[in-house]
Amino acid sequence: MHTPIPVIDIFAGPGGLGEGFSSFKSKDGEPIFKIKLSIEKEYIEHQTLELRAFYRQFTEREVPPGYYEYLKGNINREELFKMYPMEVANAKREAWQAELGRADRDVVRSRIKEALNGAIYWLLIGGPPCQAYSLAGRSRIIGEDKRKYETDPRHFLYKEYLQILADHQPPVFVMENVKGLLSATLKQQKIFELILRDLQNPSGVADNKFGRGLSYKLFTISRKRKGNSTSTSPEDFIVRSEDYGIPQARHRIIILGVRSDIYKLDPGILEKTTKQVSIDDVIGDLPRVRSGLSKEADSAERWRDAVKSIAEAKWITQLDQSLRQAIISATRKVGASLTRGNSFLTSDFTPNVYREWYSDCALNGICNHETRMHMREDLHRYFFAAVFARKNGRSPTLDEFPEELLPNHRNVQEAVNGSKFNDRFRVQIRGKPATTVVSHISKDGHYYIHYDPSQCRSLTVREAARLQTFPDNYFFEGNRTQQYHQVGNAVPPLLANKIAEIVYNVFESSK
């Protein structure tokens, strides 16, 4: 078998899954897998994919200075691309903006066939959009209109995955989706059971123009099958990322499919780490930055004064003496020397022990590390929550907030009484993996409060990207909201990198 093994990445998002496979190397440092085509419908995500495809045209030691000048904002994208026309042409062939389900299937077939260029051993990766399967998305859509939920076209986008399986018969595929898929039903039928059945025999479901009917064996990568058993529980497909060195409690479904005619041995499983990686392990070395003041003039001094004034706020009198003193003490450590960061922040910071995965010595700084602006009321809530979490080792629930800090929302009393959204303001706890980074981080930072009260803010895009294990030189295009959205929707590249080793061993065992 020749390496690198071609990879087709569909529903690619900003490229987390593809990045993990692309970065998997042989013992002599050569790439094992190579993305030949990534398909994504969203314009901004496609822009991010295309830029990363350009980056991968070079070896790590030969990435041109122009790339870093672009990340620093010294040149624009057009100027960068003009410098390297051949590499840009290759990147544009690799990253294709198209919407599966709407794009002409014959065109999709043609693009994939052209990208594979006759390769026999290759890999299909990706996962259909998950909003209709996620618990939050399902609740929102059903709340609006149950009929709308049952007719949501995102239920059936996995059939585009089936179509590519049927058309091109990849020897191996990896499919990713949200944990909520396990409980999702459509017309009283469990969607996950339907998907598993269809993935085993895609030619029997998809538009089978070519008359081929090869089947697939499906495997989990988190739990071995017992003895001679061929049965697998749906829950076995759940991968709990924090068990495998990812600094985030992200639980996702991963399905590994092996074409029956090449199957010889059951694939291996992910190796659990002895110690979980915490949030401060991976963001604690980043430059300290402050939030901005929203709906009023902002400056470092005004922000400092706003935070320090918390020590004199009436609501702290409602707290027990120990917590009140902890808050007053924490305000004394707030200074006016912090900046709000920037789209690129030049810094001589010393990376932590995870340098090999995240860092790029040629970068000389951090990109996408700029804070949001927060209203004074939220500064008070964030500061209280961060100090509470530092003292108690957990984030406070709304019923533990002083009454004056409760938000003026319609259903806040229900939350205080213990119903949904009682954790509306959630601190990420130092010493523990973060909670799941999801696309909602693009809406507000209330679920992603930094554990350090002296910074009094929500996480930056780069901090969220670190939790998702994107390398520091992975640049997210678009405005800050769009960047957050991309990061929240991605597969952690480091997890994908670990999956890549399992997949490579499948190819090796099939010889």
Please state, in angstroms and rounded to a whole number, the distance separating the CA atoms of residues 335 and 237: 48
Higher pLDDT, 348 or 402: 402
Does some domain include residue 339? yes
Q: Are residues 257 and 371 in the same domain?
A: no
Q: Are residues 232 and 358 in the same domain?
A: no
The angle, 0 to 180 degrees and rounded to 10, between the axes of the packed helices 158-168 and 105-116 is 50
Q: Are residues 446 and 311 in the same domain?
A: yes
| Cα–Cα distance list, 180 to 134, 185, 220, 302, 373 (Å) | 5, 10, 17, 44, 32
Asked if residues 167 and 109 have their Cβ atoms less than 8 Å apart, the reply is yes
- Give residue-wise pLDDT tens across range 218-252: 999 998 866 555 567 889 999 999 999 999 999 99
Written as six digits, the tokens of 498 are: 């670990």
Q: Are residues 306 and 455 in the same domain?
A: yes
Q: Are residues 269 and 314 in the same domain?
A: no
Does some domain include residue 219? yes
Confidence of residue 499 (pLDDT cuts 50, 70, 90): very high
Residue 209 has pLDDT above 70, yes or no: no
Does some domain include residue 180? yes
Strands 185-186 vs 33-40: parallel, antiparallel or unpaired: unpaired
Residue 158 has pLDDT above 90, yes or no: no
Buried b (16+ CB within 10 A) or exposed e, 154-172: bbebbbbbbbbbbbbbbbb
Please state, in angstroms and rounded to a whole number, the distance separating the CA atoms of residues 135 and 305: 41
Does some domain include residue 66? no
Residues 6+ apart with CB under 8 A from 185: 191
Written as six digits, the tokens of 19 are: 């990045």
* Coil, helix or strand at residue 406: coil
Q: Are residues 451 and 303 in the same domain?
A: yes
Please state, in angstroms and rounded to a whole number, the distance separating the CA atoms of residues 15 and 50: 10
Percent of the chain's residues with pLDDT above 90? 73
Does some domain include residue 59? no
- Give residue-wise pLDDT tens across range 275-323: 999 999 999 999 999 999 999 999 999 999 999 999 999 999 999 999 9
The DSSP code sequence of 26-90 is -TTS-BSEEEEEEEE--HHHHHHHHHHHHHTTS-GGG--HHHHHHHTTSS-HHHHHHH-HHHHHH
Q: Which among 69, 72, 56 has a CA at the least distance from the CA of 368?
A: 72
- Give residue-wise pLDDT tens across range 397-447: 998 999 999 887 655 555 555 555 677 899 999 999 999 999 989 988 899
Does some domain include residue 61? no
Does some domain include residue 93? no
Please state, in angstroms and rounded to a whole number, the distance separating the CA atoms of residues 390 and 201: 52
pTM for the model: 0.92
Q: Are residues 21 and 32 in the same domain?
A: yes
Per-residue pLDDT, 230: 59
Q: Count the domains in the chain.
A: 2
Q: Are residues 294 and 259 in the same domain?
A: no
Please state, in angstroms and rounded to a whole number, the distance separating the CA atoms of residues 282 and 300: 26
Asked if residues 221 and 499 have their Cβ atoms less than 8 Å apart, the reply is yes
Q: Are residues 242 and 259 in the same domain?
A: yes
Say which amino acid occupies 112: I
Residue 128 has pLDDT above 50, yes or no: yes
Q: Are residues 117 and 169 in the same domain?
A: yes
Specify the CATH number for the domain of residue 163: 3.40.50.150
Q: Mean pLDDT over all residues of the chain?
A: 89
427 beta partners: 449
Ranking 243-257, 281-295, 351-365, 460-474 by mean pLDDT, the lowest is 351-365
Parent domain of 175: 5-43+98-273+492-509
Does some domain include residue 368? yes
Confidence of residue 137 (pLDDT cuts 50, 70, 90): very low
Q: Are residues 248 and 297 in the same domain?
A: no
Task: Please tell me which of 84-88, 207-211, 223-227 the model is most confident about, judged by mean pLDDT.
Answer: 84-88
Q: Are residues 481 and 496 in the same domain?
A: no
Written as six digits, the tokens of 399 are: 């019923």
CB atoms within 10 A of CB 370: 20
Residues in the chain: 511
Residue 253 has pLDDT above 90, yes or no: yes
By the 10 Å C-beta count (0-12 exposed, 13-18 middle, 19+ buried), 45 is classed as buried
Confidence of residue 203 (pLDDT cuts 50, 70, 90): confident
Per-residue pLDDT, 205: 72
Confidence of residue 191 (pLDDT cuts 50, 70, 90): confident
| Cα–Cα distance list, 307 to 25, 232, 290, 340 (Å) | 47, 53, 11, 15
